[in-house]
Structure 1
Amino acid sequence: MDSTAREKWLTLPLFIAFLSAVLYLFQILILENLIVGNTEVKVKRKPHLPLRFNSDGTFKILQVADMHYGNGIVTRCRDVLPSEFEFCSDLNTTQFLRRVIKAEKPDLIVFTGDNIFGTSAADAAESLVRAFRPALESGIPWAAILGNHDQESSMNREELMSFMSLMDYSLSQINPSMGDSVDGVERSTVAIDGFGNYDLGVQGAFGSDLANTSILNLFFLDSGDRATVNGVRTYGWIKESQLHWLRSSSKGLKGSEWDQEPQNANVLASVPALAFFHIPIPEIRQLWYKKFVGQFQEAVACSVVNSGVLSTFVSMGDVKAVFIGHDHTNDFCGEIDGIWFCYGGGFGYHGYGKAGWPRRARIILAELGKGEKAWKGVKRIKTWKCLDDENLRKIDEQVLWH
């Protein structure tokens, strides 16, 4: 065999290997994407639904408040110790989220606003993808609402909610449509202010009488960003149209569940609900003079407008706890008129915090009551915080409702 033939023979396996690799990559591209002309359209990976209690009778929620994500490694940390500053960036926020997801194994992740720090985010879409990446990689269902800083980059609030609703495993919604309904029960007949008002239900455990019924309801509300009232610049607030939808939605869920499972009327009459929004309501200031669990380290930054959120929750009767963000160095829970209001505590490293005070996440755990043969309705809701320290230390565990 001459040298030319030998070279051709030796390069043939390499060419075949290269061709196989190209075909393999093209196969992956076809499976994961739809290609239309020169435009690549990504297919959303949908979460496994419905949300459901586990076989051990639990449902765990991870609340992530105020990530304030910027542009990744080039975005430096705020309010950390001098020894930590040199190598601290948005990537510390990413690493914390990965660690807490792995440690706590939540069934749902809830991002309660200021997910990105608009003034530091060059491109809102890119920052959102980076901020939520650990959730996307985990495959765990997640839901998000907006804070007062998210829209300060390249997207308005409607565009942000639309984008988040299209991301992998997201349960986020822009808004329920006018006349939208649940099992034939009309939710709302009026337009809703804001973007990101929606509800999710968590069904009972497999094998129970409540396996096809929502026994824990989750309400998400857009508390706005900034506003001017009588010449005074203030924060946004939850509007009457949103409260109207909230009351209608709560009533509709109760009605549909009652009709669906009349044999479980006692359970369904007391189905608990949790609410999530970003900016606190004015009444939370009262907790300075009351008993609370956690740290109350800064003034409550809320709107000058009191729109009646608390009285709405009280009249509804199903909301047992509310989870908020906005004030990063507050992480306390306090009870007002029978409803617990809990801060998530600052999560992100680019948002303001307190040097030497670890960033933190809040965990919410709902537990079912045990019947003779199967799980029943929700028996207890408790919460604690997880610190971004060496051991992801858990602190301030408490029961919110039982």
Structure 2
Amino acid sequence: MKSFDKNSLIFRKQLIIVFLLIVYFVYPQNTLSVTLFNNEIKGESEQPILKFKDGKFKILQFTDIHWVNGDSYRKGNDSTLLLMRKLIKAEHPDLVIITGDVVVSWGAAESWKEVTQPMVEAKVPFAVTFGNHDAETDITTSQVLELLKTIPYNVTYNSNNNISGVGNCTLPIKSSDGNQDKWVLYLFDSHDYPKDKTFGYYDWIKHDQIDWYRNQSDYYTQKDGKIIPSLAFFHIPLPEYVQVQYISSLIGTKKDDVCAPNLNSGLFSSLLEKRDVLGVFTGHDHNNDYLVDANGEICLAYGRKTGYNSAYKEVLERGARVINLYEDDRCFSTYIETLSDKLNNYTFEKKGQTCPYPIAEGTFIQESLVTNWDDARWQQELEMLKGVGMKYLIFAPSLFTDKNGKDKYLYPSSFSKKSERTSNNLIDLCLRNAKKCGVKIFIGLNFNDKWWSASFTPDWLYQQMERGNKIADELISLYKEKYGDTMYGWYWVWEVDNLHAITNENQEILANALNINLDHLNKVTPDMPFMLSPYMNQKVGTADANQKMWESVFAKTHFKNGDIFSPQDGVGAGGLDVDKLSEWFSGMRQAVNSKPGLKFWANVESFDHRFWTNAPLSRFKQQMEAVNPYVNKIITFAYSHYYSPFQVNKQYHDAYLEYYKTGKLLKVSVPEPVSDLVLKIKKNEMVVLKWKSPKDKSNLMGYYVYKDGILVANIQNKNIDDSDTEFIDKKGSQNNLYEVSSYNVNGEESIKVKTHM
């Protein structure tokens, strides 16, 4: 419970103590006595086993029930029980967790039995973390724990009797077959009030509890051979609930100040270091129910106050928080549920999975690459992508219209003629194989090549959006039920830059176009995120102007919680220099923060537009490191096209795989230089360069060609033995100085060899 008047709380506590002393001396045989309470403990109830069902596990968080014994509070208590029963019936949770301030008055033993009845009746396992008021009764929290052990379906216990607090425990959630730990829940006692108020009014989680958590985290990691995704539950919020508001926007309601300890004992930093806890869930502040996605690193969330008895002026409808876990995903979805509504649905996805360094977690793939792929080839590619941590594939568009108005559908649309379709149903092939591999697909709708001319009217653009809605409806009817969550999201194929949307008029047009799709897609597929991936060019604008442009667009658009803004970093296309990424992405992070619930990803380009070759891994790593502090996740355009071992030299994939596993670039030797570089002038005045490749080609990825000190060519080939050892310059002469170097997978080059006639 939050307090606006700390003196009144102290006075209330003193009154309770006086009352209990009177009861003890006047009625020594009263059922409130510790002796009789202990006699009521007749044995522990067997703990249920928590496990996934069909890949899902649902938690219902009740908090701040504030049960007060007595006739004058009966109406509030009855309303609380009715709410708990209705929400349990509506949600069918696999576990209920009550995060503190449960029973806050005398008669606690009987009250605890009453307040746990909704779970017992529904045969739902439940756990409890204690709040600052749970000890202000006629029994201690240790005695409450002993009582809970006798109640069916309780799973609360003391994991270690030698650490501070009561009810610190871990609750592993088993796989559907019961053979593996898939998730771990950590329950902490956040205590009540420190004896010395020098360091604030509320107590803090102690160092021995933090050490216990760290040891448990290590235990599960070693036992299972990997970091196990986890959640933490306790009553009093951490001090970081204040700081995190400056990282990302709030999703939900904040009407109270955060009543956290003034002293920071370091639990949050341990959670970040261990990388297992995805979310922290607390109560305490009755008019707060918000969550904050801290840049994909961790989610800090409040529950919704459940109890109807008010401790002070309370404005929120009573309810609970629902948390859905997924057996094979490091993510969870959550929302607030009341008797009248479901609010603020949001999916948190852990950044970088288990890696403390930036990695790409998804890639674009284009129709030109996959036109002739069969199931076996799709499986080959998807398994390769999963091996380097890829979870998302963006496949777009479903309908392409060229500049002459000719349509090409990637699936057998009822809107198309047979001649307008690809020979294979590429959408079905993609979804079918992705489902088998556990990869999530973003599907692009329609695109018209006229977009690039920028010579269209707003009405034409709006008509294209309406056409996209019809495509979406058809894709949903054909594939959504069939492939379920594999058909994960939508991709807006129309690429926006920071030049054509800079005016207020164009921003209005852009927002209107987006809303035509957003309004429709949010209605028909509310659980599918919508992704927008614009690009930037530093030659036509500034980072500050780009930020203001997107703030203006976001203010007008109807993005929902969980939609994704994933700008292209522009390095591959030549729009931004690597050293400008921090400035531009910092500004866009601020723009995204102006739109609550909007996620910020980065689309890092793995190519070099000058020669349409793959970028060296050193540059790709540098790009990811530059944007990583600002974004929730990183995807790339495009691994399958520029790093796949089935598309380019296998060493690129092998080297990136090593980086994915270790966070370090593979150390390879610099190739030997070329030899016998010769310049010849042909009759038509073309310059022809020829050279001999190094004898040792083990680390050779290609050749850089320089003309008067400027890079003019990058010669690559999937099999370097077959690569050209010739370069033709139609605009050169014997007066130019040409140089050629060989390079490895990281772009490290040999000495440059100069030409001779």
The answer to whether the aligner puts 1:314 opposite 2:267 as a matched pair is: no
Conservation of the 8 A alpha-carbon contact between 1:175 and 1:192: no
User: How far off its partner does 1:234 sit?
Assistant: 1.2
State the shift of 1:46 in Å. Answer: 3.0
Give the CA deviation at 1:230. 5.5
The AA in structure 2 aligned to 1:96 is L
Which protein has the larger Cα radius of gyration, Structure 1 or Structure 2? 2
Q: Partner amino acid for 1:246?
A: Y
Aligned to 2:316: 357
Percent identical among aligned pairs is 32
Q: How does 1:325-340 map to 2 (within 5 A)?
A: 325-336=283-294, 338-340=297-299
Which residue among 159, 176, 181 is the counterpart of 2:143? 159
- Runs of 4+ aligned structure 1 residues displaced above 6 Å come to none
What is the one-letter code of the residue matched to 2:229?
P
- Superposition deviation, residue 354 in structure 1: 5.3
Pick from 229, 242, 245 the counterpart of residue 272 of structure 1: 229
CA distance in 2, matches of 1:342, 1:94: 24
State whether residues 283 and 303 of structure 2, in contact with CA within 8 Å, keep that contact through their aligned partners in structure 1: yes
Partner amino acid for 1:365?
N
Aligned-partner Cα distance in 1 for 2:143–2:40: 20
Q: Is the 8 A contact 1:175 1:195 kept in 2?
A: no
AA aligned to 1:220 is L
- Correspondence for 1:386 among 337, 349, 358: 337
Match of 1:32 in 2: none
How many residue pairs were aligned?
A: 310
User: What 5-or-longer segments of structure 2 have no aligned partner?
Assistant: 1-38, 351-757
Q: Residue type matched to 2:68 in 1? A: G
Query: 2: distance between equivalents of 1:351 and 1:400?
Result: 31
Q: Which protein has greater RCO, CA pairs closer than 8 Å, 6+ apart?
A: 1
**AA aligned opposite 1:194:** G
1:52 is aligned to 2:40: no
Structure with greater proportional strand content: 1
Contact 1:322 1:340 in 2 (8 A): yes
3-state secondary structure, aligned to 2:167: coil
Match of 1:263 in 2: none
1:224 aligns with 2:191: yes
TM-score for both structures, normalised by structure 1: 0.73
Report the residue type matching 1:193 in the other structure.
S
> Would you say the 8 A contact 2:41–2:147 is kept in 1?
no
Contact 1:66 1:351 (8 Å CA) reproduced: no
Report the counterpart of residue 219 of structure 2 in structure 1: 252
Give the residue type in structure 2 aligned to 1:147.
Answer: G
Taking a change above 3 Å as real, the CA distance of residues 248 and 312 of structure 1, as seen in their structure-2 partners, is same
Deviations 1:13-58 (A, max 9, x none): xxxxxxxxxxxxxxxxxxxxxxxxxx88756553432x1100x211
Structure 1 residues 142-193: Cα deviation after superposition (integer angstroms, max 9, x where no partner) = 111100001111111222222223321100013424xxxxxxxxxxxxx311
Tell me if structure 2 keeps the 8 A contact 1:271–1:378.
Answer: no
Mapped pair 1:399 → 2:350 = no
1:192 is aligned to 163
Instruction: Tell me by how many angstroms 1:326 deviates.
Output: 0.4
Counterpart residue type for residue 276 of structure 1 = F
Q: 5 Å matches for 1:2-401?
A: 45-49=45-49, 51-54=50-53, 56-71=54-69, 74-75=72-73, 88-117=75-104, 121-177=105-161, 191-206=162-177, 211-229=178-196, 231=198, 234-258=201-225, 269-289=226-246, 290-336=248-294, 338-352=297-311, 357-368=316-327, 377-389=328-340, 393-401=341-349
d(CA) in 1 for partners of 2:45 and 2:70? Answer: 24
- Cα shift at 1:74: 3.3
* Deviation at residue 348 of structure 1 after TM alignment: 0.3
1:96 positional shift: 0.3
Letter paired with 1:394: K
SS at match of 2:135: helix
Cross-structure match for 2:359: none
Distance in 2 between residues matched to 1:73 and 1:135, nearest whole Å: 23
> Shift of residue 127 of structure 1?
1.1
Asked if the contact 1:73–1:89 (Cα under 8 Å) also holds between the matched residues in 2, the reply is no
Distance 1:356 1:282, change over 3 A: closer
Name the TM-score, length of structure 2 as normaliser: 0.39
